[in-house]
Amino acid sequence: MANLKEIKRRIGSVKKTKQITSAMKLVSGAKLSRASAAATAAQPYQQQLAGVLQRVGAAAGESVSSPLLRARPEVRRALIVVITSDRGLCGGFNNNLSKRAQAWIQEQRAAGVEVELGVFGRKANDYFRNRHFEVTLPVVNYGKTDKMELVRSLGERAEQGFVSGSYDAVFIAYNRYENTISQVPQIVQLLPLQLEAAESGAPAQPSGEMVEFEFEPSAKELLDALLPLYLRTLVLQAFLETEAGEHAARMTAMDNATRNASDLIGALTLEYNRARQAAITTEIIEIVSGAEALK
């Protein structure tokens, strides 16, 4: 009989877990639609900016000499910023990225590059702290902070560090949001900026021939003002995709958990019924044999 009670208790607890996971799935679903809407809303700006950059870049032509574009002949010091979420329960979302970044850092260090590490999100912070990495720029619990504020501070830091020569290159590691079931960890070079990347993302020119634009002030000055803005959109994109990816990953993870819970409940119910049946059978045998003995 004790066994019966035990199984019943377990069924109850799994049912509660299932309730929680299915609620989390619904919440993540709602948050995901908001996050992916935000990512979509940011796209026109990115495209327009990339378009403007392309036109200005083409006009500035050979004279492009902004410090943000200049690649150093040898990369000796680099900064990598890993962007993960603050909260877990989202499958391998954070861990895959952290592992990827760790492998990258070790590879670079083996090649003689001094790598400084910055992290956004509690998960990456914990990951690297546990492995005794020195984290120079830890930002945790950033979910409540305004995104543009984060983007601005990170962009500024990267820009200053790069221009002043503290870093020869700046990288950013985040999960690219492909769709609800696939987020791909990737490491992207932020600085020196690569204009080709901007051009491929730019909308095609309406007319085939090169359009003559009038620039005010000069194309060079415009470019100087544009590049930090472009840098920020790259960072913003990373944050937006991380947020959308986090919710998508959590939704998938919680969906799996809910399904596992259902399976477990089914198996436990079967076991419970068997045990109950066995108990009844035992009881009947006891009664019958008791009655037989009295005859």
The residue among 36, 83, 25, 22 whose CA lies nearest residue 179 is: 36
Within positions 141 to 160, which residues make up the interface with another protein, using CB under 8 A? 148
Q: Decide if residue 56 touches another protein (CB under 8 A).
A: yes
Within positions 16 to 55, which residues make up the interface with another protein, using CB under 8 A? 38, 41-42, 44-46, 48-49, 52, 55
Sequence length of the chain is: 295
Give the span between the Cα atoms of 58 and 54, in whole angstroms: 6
Q: Which residues pair with 78 in a beta bridge?
A: 115, 169
Nearer to another protein, 219 or 251 (CB): 219
Nearer to another protein, 14 or 158 (CB): 158
Applying CB under 8 A, the span of 4-12, 88-96, 113-121, 230-238 interacting with another protein comes to 230-238
CA atoms within 13 A on the CB side of 68: 22
Q: Which residues pair with 185 in a beta bridge?
A: 175
Q: Decide if residue 210 touches another protein (CB under 8 A).
A: no
Which is the catalytic residue, given 7, 24, 49, 90?
90
Q: Give every strand in the sheet of 169-179, ordered side by side.
A: 135-139, 114-120, 77-83, 169-179, 182-191
Q: Identity (one letter) of the amino acid at 177?
A: Y
Residue 170 CA: distances (Å) to CA of 65, 86, 219? 18, 23, 26
Nearer to another protein, 221 or 286 (CB): 221
Applying CB under 8 A, the span of 95-103, 168-176, 206-214, 270-278 interacting with another protein comes to 206-214
Active site residue 103: no
Residues lying near another protein in the complex (CB under 8 A) are found at: 38, 41-42, 44-46, 48-49, 52, 55-56, 148, 211-217, 221-222, 225-226, 229, 232-233, 236
